């Protein structure tokens, strides 16, 4: 259903605050609006994974896009660090990591794999350490799930693979990737198959048992990293999958991104050595910076006690590390599509990763205040900017994104940035059977210079 009239921005924000404070039902989920809606709150390749990675080409072989500073008299001329993106990248530069690799690894289609994070037994996962990009988001009821994007590295296997969510309609097309999933609820599958990226003859980009993919590319079987065959024992084998779709992708399936990469850290950062995200009362994540490696090690709770342990990759038994950590504040809505039927059932979420919103970028032990933008001006690519609209450069390497709600509460305690997320009620407003998913966005505009105080919310315990 579409709104009969334009809602002004004050009403939108007050409504969101009242709903969050009262624990009422979420606003109607939406399609991307024609006009730009601005939402504001007041608000790190592994360094190198212990596994074989593609040979890296020397930086000196490419044209340097940065500008050299004027040297003082008698001083040698400094060679500037190259800057890549956001619209074009030299041959051999991976637009997802800013790293220089064999061009044959860039001129192919990325694989976006839906990877489980709950229940705890699915950990350690296979292949996460080798992903170029990883997006962590709420699936429902406070549990988190990953969409990991692979281009320059193809792990021996990736998984375990679980079902898609609405956010995957945004992530896979955004990077020109095929999506690997175990399947979907009826409502989510309908949503995916209505997207131009997967529509009609393009359905082959949706790699799933429901779209007739099977072994040896996508296998629901005991692997060398699991001991049982169940809902969490589906794995994808990238080398076989690429052979399977080679006739479709050819040699022109170029990936895409809107990121800027620079070896030198931008000016204006604040020293932050730890990024803590409480997605819910049972989903806690911490990224800890190590100056000797220049990257962040990921920690997360390993059982209901909340004790944090280093997050390992099953393929290497080594810690997962990242060059960049990005926290995206994004509007979340109940999508009224039943996803989980335990303890009365829960609906899923529509995470509205379009238009613009707040972002925090962490690299080199520094935090940068910024915005994320994804609209017609970026060709619906994800771009990271400062308050003046200038690109904020990521460090060359992999990036982990944590997506939280607009009303998440953040505080800076010394060198720790701590985010407490708010878990939406997707249980009491979850119809069974599912109703038609609303498709209208409340339109509005918030002055980018305005300060809107976040609303604190109690986190909820996810279904076991």
Per-residue pLDDT tens for 421-445?
999 998 888 886 554 443 333 322 2
**pLDDT the model gives residue 329:** 98
Q: Residue 2, class by beta-carbon neighbours within 10 Å (0-12 exposed, 13-18 middle, 19+ buried)?
A: exposed
Tracing tokens 């990936």 back to the chain, one arrives at 255
Chain CA centroid to CA 76, Å: 42
- 139: enclosing H helix or E strand: strand 133-140
**Rounded to the nearest 5°, which phi and psi values hold at 71?**
-75, 155
CA distance 2 to 351: 19
Which residues in the chain come in under a pLDDT of 50? Answer: 1-72, 224, 435-464
**Rounded to the nearest 5°, which phi and psi values hold at 428?**
-65, -25
**pLDDT the model gives residue 74:** 54
Strands 178-180 and 111-116: parallel
CA distance 112 to 310: 24
Chain CA centroid to CA 419, Å: 16
**Rounded to the nearest 5°, which phi and psi values hold at 362?**
-120, 125
How large is the greatest C-alpha to C-alpha distance in the chain, in angstroms?
Answer: 77
DSSP 410: E
Strands 270-271 and 218-220: unpaired
Contact 42, 453 (CB under 8 A): yes
Domains of the chain: 82-249 (3.50.90.10)
**pLDDT the model gives residue 79:** 61
Contact 376, 356 (CB under 8 A): no
**pLDDT the model gives residue 75:** 54
Query: How far separated are the first and last CA of the chain, in Å rounded?
Result: 34
User: What mean pLDDT value characterizes the chain?
Assistant: 79
**Rounded to the nearest 5°, which phi and psi values hold at 178?**
-85, 150
The token duo for 290 is 């190590």
The token duo for 69 is 């500073």
Q: What DSSP string describes 105-138?
A: HHSS--EEEEEE--SGGGPSBBSGGG-SEEEEEE
Report which of 374, 401, 395, 371 is spatially closest to residue 384, judged by C-alpha positions: 371
Q: What is the pTM of this model?
A: 0.79
């Amino acid at each position: 259903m579409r709104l009969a009239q334009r809602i002004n921005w004050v009403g939108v924000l007050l409504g969101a605050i009242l709903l969050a404070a009262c624990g009422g039902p979420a606003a109607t989920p939406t399609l991307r609006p024609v006009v730009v809606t601005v939402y504001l709150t007041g608000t790190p390749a592994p360094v190198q994974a212990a596994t074989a990675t593609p040979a890296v080409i020397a930086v000196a072989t490419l044209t340097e896009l940065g500008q050299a500073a004027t040297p003082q008299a008698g001083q040698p001329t400094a060679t500037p660090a190259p800057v890549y993106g956001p619209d074009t990248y030299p041959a051999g530069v991976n637009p997802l990591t800013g790293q220089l690799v064999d061009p044959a690894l860039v001129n192919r289609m990325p694989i976006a794999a839906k990877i489980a994070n709950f229940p705890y037994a699915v950990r350690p996962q296979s292949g996460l350490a080798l992903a170029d990009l990883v997006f962590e988001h709420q699936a429902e009821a406070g549990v988190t799930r990953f969409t990991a994007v692979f281009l320059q590295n193809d792990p021996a296997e990736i998984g375990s693979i679980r079902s898609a969510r609405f956010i995957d309609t945004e992530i896979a097309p955004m990077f020109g990737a095929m999506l690997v999933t175990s399947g979907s609820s009826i409502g989510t599958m309908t949503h995916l198959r209505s997207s131009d990226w997967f529509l009609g003859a393009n359905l082959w980009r949706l790699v799933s048992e429901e779209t007739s993919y099977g072994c040896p590319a996508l296998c629901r079987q005991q692997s060398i990293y699991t001991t049982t065959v169940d809902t969490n024992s589906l794995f994808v084998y990238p080398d076989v999958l690429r052979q399977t779709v080679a006739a479709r992708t050819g040699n022109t399936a170029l990936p895409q991104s809107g990121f800027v990469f620079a070896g030198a850290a931008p000016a204006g950062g604040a020293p932050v050595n730890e990024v803590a995200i409480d997605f819910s009362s049972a989903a806690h994540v911490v990224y800890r910076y190590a100056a000797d490696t220049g990257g962040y090690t990921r920690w997360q709770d390993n059982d209901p006690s909340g004790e944090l342990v280093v997050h390992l990759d099953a393929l290497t038994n080594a810690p997962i590390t990242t060059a960049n950590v990005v926290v995206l504040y994004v509007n979340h809505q109940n999508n009224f599509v039943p996803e989980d039927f335990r303890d009365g059932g829960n609906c899923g979420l529509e995470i509205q990763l379009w238009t613009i919103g707040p972002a925090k970028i962490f690299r080199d032990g520094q935090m940068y205040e910024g915005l994320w933008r994804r609209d017609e001006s970026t060709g619906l690519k994800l771009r990271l900017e400062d308050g003046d609209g200038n690109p904020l450069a990521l460090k060359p390497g992999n990036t982990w994104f944590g997506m939280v709600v607009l009303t998440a509460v953040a505080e800076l305690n010394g060198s720790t940035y701590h985010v407490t997320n708010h878990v939406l009620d997707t249980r009491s407003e979850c119809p069974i059977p599912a109703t038609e998913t609303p498709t209208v966005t409340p339109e509005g505009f918030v002055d980018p210079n305005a300060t809107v105080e976040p609303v604190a919310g109690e986190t909820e315990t996810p279904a076991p």
